[in-house]
Amino acid sequence: MPATPFTEPAKKHLGQHFLHDRSYVDRIVQAVGPVLDPQSGERLVEIGPGQGAITFPLLDRHGALTVIEFDRDLIAPLTEAARAHGELTVIHRDVLKVDFTELADGVKNRIRLVGNLPYNLSSPILFHVLDHAPVVRDMVFMLQKEVVDRMAAPPGSKVYGRLSVMLQAYCRVEALFIVPPGAFRPPPKVDSAVVRLVPRDASEVGIDDPALFARVVRDAFGQRRKTLRNALSQVCDAAAITAAGIRPELRAEQLPVADFVRLANALTTDAATRDTGTMPAER
């Protein structure tokens, strides 16, 4: 991969750590999977291309790539270096302000996402992408290993929390491999890891009210030492939790994702019943 025309050092305030170890670059490109079928209408999008470590191999493999880069100093060298590899489309914008649904042209085409996410923004980016999950086919991201551990954590784990439940409710999450600090310039102080996320179909997700579901999960984990009865006191009472088939004396980290979905849906049904003044149909 080219050492030039990139002359700017990594910017600490943007959380930049540029991958340089080709063996890990190759593993990430392999994880992205087969070459896009030109007839599929799918678009490959990289978040945070940096100095192009992943960008140029992806261009070599796929021929075309859209990248989202916030650092204006990287735009010109990326564009210049990409000419030898394929067709590069650069979106100079904060990724949190990118409308991925618009980028995918509604639901006509889906996008595939890849990227080395800045550690200081990884959770906000993940939640932002979740808002556009219906138009995303899959994602291969590199993040701080601690974050990937939380994303893939099972119930009962010390790191199972809001991020785990929200991502696993909407996506299949698979931790792939660890990337050591020495694979980057400058090296971060922590290990990184690569993860694959595949959004679930709406019928598989089965969440009736996404906003209420998000609030239930947020409040449940707001104070981890509290029982559900106490943590969710602003959302529902113990009787409503029991009616959903869940023990109110449990703590949030003990509850599987499916139970969070069931509880939120039960509360949605109860709210609809109160609003209409009718009884729900027998099941």
Q: Which of 110, 90, 89 is nearest to 101 (CA)?
A: 110
Q: What angle do CA 197, 182, 66 make, to 5 degrees?
A: 40
Residue with tokens 């088939």: 245
Residue with tokens 């880069």: 69
Listed in sequence order, the DSSP H helices in 221-256 are 228-231, 238-243
Measured distance CA(273)–CA(106) in Å, rounded: 33
The tokens describing 228, both together, are 């559900």
Does 186 sit behind a cis peptide bond, omega within 30 degrees of 0 on the bond before it?
Answer: yes
What are the respective helix, strand and coil percentages of the chain, to the nearest 5? 45, 20, 35
> Which residues are annotated binding-site positions for S-adenosyl-L-methionine?
17, 19, 48, 69, 94, 116
Q: Which of 152, 163, 84 is nearest to 125 (CA)?
A: 163
Measured distance CA(264)–CA(274) in Å, rounded: 15
Does 5 sit behind a cis peptide bond, omega within 30 degrees of 0 on the bond before it?
Answer: yes
What's at 98, amino acid-wise? V
From the centroid of its chain, how far is CA 186? Answer: 24
From the centroid of its chain, how far is CA 178? Answer: 17
Q: What is the DSSP letter of 41?
A: -
> Which residues are annotated binding-site positions?
17, 19, 48, 69, 94, 116
Measured distance CA(235)–CA(215) in Å, rounded: 8
